[in-house]
Amino acid sequence: MLKSLHVSGPETSCKICDGPASLYGVVDFNKNCLERENVFPVLSGVPVYYYRCENCGLIFSRAFDEWTHADFQEHIYNADYARVDPEYAEIRPQLLADMVFNFIKQAGPLKVLDYGGGAGRTAELLRGKGVAAASWDPMTSAALPQGALFDVVTCFEVFEHTPTPLATAEDALRLLDSKGVLIFSTLTADELPPRAIHAWYIAPRNGHITIYTKAALKVMFEKFGCTVHHFSGNVHMAYRQLPAWLAPQRA
Ligand SMILES: [Zn+2]
């Protein structure tokens, strides 16, 4: 039985910029990313509402605001999760490890943390390539790693999953050296029209509960003194100060 979701009114404030947000649409809890491939789930009968911020365009739900990590584990990141995200366990970690390795291989030895790395497969693959990589996941680990800061923090498929985007960004950045870079993925939604709740990426069963625009990412990371660079609509980088190994390429 799905735990009752938080119900809120037609208006709320944006989780990033605090601007006014009204309801954007409603989908069934079981809506998931496989619908892009014409695989449609049995519906649950549980509605999940999303808002959109009038200022920064953030699309977000408040339905999960009172869920604990245990609730997420029970209802979303459970044994059936692999069915709605079949690439999660192996295919994506391989692609991500290759991407990170290619990005940093000219830099010399760097310390890498994969934040939100699940079972730690991406970091394991990076270690196999000789990179000093560790993994940490807020869903399964209690306290943040203490002490050492990292040259690169990766944050793949994390930000769309958090009900608290500012707290997640702050956590990830806390682990970053002042001249480190945060490399993250999340598919931006700048081009979505006013009624696009059926877009494939808006998918509560996959845990996609906070969808960003480039403007929303800019506002979010500026709060922490960071600049955002977009490699694509899906892969981005945030930094306070570009490290020497990146600066010459970008001068
Ligand atoms: Zn906003």
Dist CA 250 CA 74 (whole Å)? 44
Report how far ligand 1's centroid is from the alpha carbon of 190 (Å): 13
CB 78 within 8 A of CB 41: no
Express each pLDDT in 24-35 by its tens digit: 999 999 999 998
Report how far ligand 1's centroid is from the alpha carbon of 120 (Å): 32
What would the two tokens of residue 75 be?
Answer: 């209802």
Look up the CATH architecture of domain 11-250.
3-Layer(aba) Sandwich (3.40)
Report how far ligand 1's centroid is from the alpha carbon of 92 (Å): 30
| Confidence (pLDDT) at 251 | 45
Report how far ligand 1's centroid is from the alpha carbon of 213 (Å): 9
**Averaged pLDDT, 202-225:** 97
SS3 91: helix
Report how far ligand 1's centroid is from the alpha carbon of 223 (Å): 13
pLDDT band at residue 86 under the 50/70/90 scheme: confident
The HSE-up count of residue 108 (CA atoms within 13 Å, CB side) is 5
More confident residue, 80 or 195: 80
pLDDT band at residue 154 under the 50/70/90 scheme: very high
| Confidence (pLDDT) at 248 | 65
- Please, what is the angle between helix 121-128 and helix 91-104, to 10°? 50
Find the range with the poorest average confidence among 79-83, 125-129, 162-166: 79-83
Report how far ligand 1's centroid is from the alpha carbon of 7 (Å): 20
* H helix or E strand, kind and range, residue 25: strand 20-28
Across the chain, mean pLDDT equals 91
| Confidence (pLDDT) at 147 | 73
pLDDT band at residue 4 under the 50/70/90 scheme: low
Core vs surface per residue 20-50: b (16+ CB within 10 A) or e: ebeebbebbbbbbbbbeeeeebeeeebebbb
Express each pLDDT in 35-73 by its tens digit: 888 888 899 999 999 999 999 999 999 999 999 989 999
Report how far ligand 1's centroid is from the alpha carbon of 57 (Å): 6
Sign of the dihedral through C-alpha 213, 214, 219, 221: positive
Report how far ligand 1's centroid is from the alpha carbon of 226 (Å): 17
CB 52 within 8 A of CB 58: yes
**Averaged pLDDT, 89-117:** 93
